A and B are shown apart, each in its own frame.
Chain A
Amino acid sequence: MTTLAGTRGHLLFERNLMVYRRAWLIIFSGLFEPLFYLFSLGFGLGHFVGRVHGVTYASYIAPALLASSAMNGAIYDATTNVFWKLRYAKVYDAVLATPLGPADVALGETSWAQFRGLLYAAGFIVTAASLGLVHSWWGALALPAAVVVGFGFAGMGIAASTFIRTWQDFDLVQLVQLPMFLFSATFYPLSVYPTALQWVVRFSPLYEAIVLVRSFTLGTVGWTNLVDAGYLVVLGALGIRLARRRMAGLLLT
């Protein structure tokens, strides 16, 4: 009987897999959102925009949409679903009566939310590649990059979900998520902003995520990408730590 904290998190993943075995369609609906953006903005609006950083507008925003879909998938699961299980469905109350602890719950749910983000990212990249929007063999690493992106946002999302009290609070999540999506150098380069604002944007986790994925799909990989990835990993890890503490406080009363 292992007592190491967090070593049984995969069982939560297994539980979720069991649930979604019957509900794959729900997951797949999330695949289309980034594709809609790609077609309307990338190809539609892109027609008038011309080239950005030497590539077509669609190629420019495709990696950003990929990173965003990994983020959206991870955050959606980490907030809505975890909140539901935590406050209403009592899933974790049952889990914590077994050898699993709060660390297992935090890690297991993070991995699941990450997985959801990864599914969206994978669906997107297959489409993007078949449309010729991936410009380098480095593009193969965009998917592992999406895993890192998913981890960062899943970890933060789960921490956030422990603070959510009512369904209205989700408006706050939206209030952070939407501007992050629109302003993180998603649809235009950072250089559009005045210098001071550029520094603010650089702290957006989605900005780091987009830079990371874009380097891979456009083949402009450099050492600084390690910093991008590191930033996301650290944020995710801090989120998990906070979530573990919060869940222990909420459930083990």
Chain B
Amino acid sequence: MPDGGALIHARGLTKRFGPLCAVDAIDFDVRKGEAFGFLGPNGAGKSSTMRMIGCVSPVTDGTLRVLGLDPLTDGPAIRGRLGVVPQMDTLDNELTVRENLVIYGRYFGLSRRELRARADDLLEFVQLEERANDPVEPLSGGMKRRLTIARSLVNDPELLLLDEPTTGLDPQARHVVWDRLFRLKQRGVTLVLTTHYMDEAEQLCDRLVIMHQGRIAEEGSPAELIQRLSTREVVELRFAGDTPPVEGVFDGRVARVEELPDRVLLYTDDGDALVPLAHERLGPQSVLVRRSTLEDVFLRLTGRTLVD
């Protein structure tokens, strides 16, 4: 195979909506068995990319191969082997929780008999057994999300596309979802996900790309990206009133200073060394020394925080 066995192979992949270029000639490969993430601010083009991979949005330009096939000609065959969790839930509100799984499985050509057992397993997997015969409408947002994830697994997909799987979930529900996704990954399912949460990306992704304005700004493993694009440590300063001028205060002692509306970030390899100086010159209300995260990488690349 020319794509070196990648499950998803994209070169110059482009999506335009009229004059707007939502995805601007991006290149990436997703290998079998890995968890691959798209990080990016609102409007970066993550969902547009996911929808092209899911064969529900025609490619405007460039090459895209999914499972070695061309979405343009083999859409149904590709979709038959994918699991999709769209950004917005598309559960069938006229059906019960269980029926949602059954009919979705039927769309994939599975028999009712197979689906009876499958639905039970999946409901257990996402901890919704007790709601099996309830209508979908009154479920909480987190429950709907879990049901959508269960539904995406009904056809035993080789490749799972998750567009912001945990947005809107409470911390506990997010951990449940992470745990489930982690188990799927261990079973060899390839995961492609988008997220605004850097902890999610760090937890789940072997490799990720940071998208910004339709382009890929950086690519690598979370650790690599942090190492390459940030310092080892960050000093976070918060102030009681207005932020005093920081210009020049730390010249030569920090790699970079980032001023945010609510705090100042000092990028350095030795955070502790800066703490006395910061206290002496700026009198902050609080000082926190922490390790760099993807959030910092993201901030540097896009000038924005992930969750805004």
Interface residues of A (CB under 8 A from B): 1-3, 8, 11, 14-15, 18-19, 89-91, 93-101, 251-253
CB–CB B90/A93 < 8 A: yes
Total chain B interface residues with beta-carbon distance under 8 A: 30
Contacts of A101 in B (CB 8 A): 75-76
Q: Do B88 and A252 touch (CB < 8 A)?
A: no
Question: Which 4 pairs between the two chains have the least Cβ-Cβ distance?
Answer: A98-B107, A94-B90, A99-B76, A90-B90
A1-B76, A1-B80 are known contacts; what are 14 more A-B pairs with Cβ within 8 Å?
A: A2-B76, A11-B107, A15-B106, A18-B103, A19-B94, A89-B92, A91-B90, A93-B56, A93-B86, A97-B54, A97-B56, A97-B82, A98-B108, A253-B17
Contacting A at CB under 8 A, from B73-125, are: 74-77, 79-80, 82, 84, 86, 88, 90-95, 99, 102-104, 106-109
Q: How far is the CB of B88 from chain A (nearest CB, A)?
A: 7
Write out the residue numbers on chain B whose beta carbons fall within 8 Å of the beta carbon of A97.
Answer: 54, 56, 79, 82, 84, 86, 90
B283 within 8 Å of A by Cβ? no
Q: Which residues of B contact A253 (CB under 8 A)?
A: 17, 57
Give the residues in chain B near A99, CB-CB below 8 Å: 76-77, 79-80, 107-109
- Name the distance in Å between B301's Cβ and chain A's nearest Cβ: 28
Q: How far, in angstroms, from A8 to B94 measured CA to CA in the complex?
A: 21
* Nearest B residue to A92, CB-CB: B90
Pair B86/A3 contact, Cβ less than 8 Å: no
Q: Mark B43-60, 1 if CB is under 8 A from A, else 0.
A: 000000000001011100
The CA-CA distance from A248 to B35 in the complex, in Å, is 31
CB-defined contacts of B106 to chain A, threshold 8 Å: 11, 14-15
Q: Given the known inter-chain contacts A1-B76, A99-B77, please indicate yes or no for A252 contacting B108, CB distance below 8 A.
A: no
B93 & A89 in contact (Cβ 8 Å cutoff): yes
Interface pairs (7), CB distance under 8 Å: A14-B103, A14-B106, A18-B102, A93-B56, A97-B82, A99-B76, A99-B108
Which residues from A are CB-within-8-Å of B17? 253
Given A15-B103, A19-B94, A252-B56, CB of A98 within 8 Å of CB of B86: no
Q: Roughly how many angstroms separate A11 CA and B76 CA in the complex, as a whole number?
A: 15
Check B91–A98 contact: CB distance below 8 A.
Answer: no
